[in-house]
């Protein structure tokens, strides 16, 4: 019976697909709107982040307009998740922020 439960558990884990990758970039903060944090990197690529870590949110309150236009070193993770329709999508989440001081 224990072997059956173990086999069932391992088989179930095989259907849950979540992969993670962590990336760091320099980007300018464009604002917070409709639940997303918007940034533009040095090559003018636009990024939106669904979530932000508690530590980063406490260090920089991006819900206020105070940091719009400021450049940050943004460390974020990309998670590939599967939705209720078994379709994969990428979810971006800020892990760490560091304000880059202009000289």
CB 22 within 8 Å of CB 95? yes
pLDDT at residue 23 tops 50: yes
Phi, psi of 66 (to 5 degrees): -55, -35
Domain segments of the chain as ranges: 18-99
pLDDT at 49: 96
State mean pLDDT over 18-33: 87
Q: What is the pLDDT of residue 19?
A: 56
- CA nearest neighbour of 93 among 44, 17, 9, 23: 23
Query: What's the pTM value of the predicted model, to 2 decimals?
Result: 0.74
What CATH superfamily classification does 18-99 receive?
NigD-like N-terminal OB domain (2.40.50.500)
On the 0-12 / 13-18 / 19+ scale of CB atoms within 10 A, 25 is: middle
């Amino acid at each position: 019976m224990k072997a059956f439960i173990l086999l069932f558990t391992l088989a179930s884990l095989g259907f849950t697909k979540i992969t993670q990758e962590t990336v760091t970039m320099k980007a300018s903060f464009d604002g917070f709107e409709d639940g997303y944090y918007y940034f533009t990197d040095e090559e003018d690529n636009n990024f939106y982040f669904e979530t932000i870590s508690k530590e980063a949110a406490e260090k920089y309150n991006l819900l206020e307009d105070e940091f719009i236009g400021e450049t940050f070193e943004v460390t974020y993770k990309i998670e590939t998740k599967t939705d209720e329709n078994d379709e994969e999508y990428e979810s971006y989440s800020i892990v760490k922020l560091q304000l880059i001081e202009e000289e």
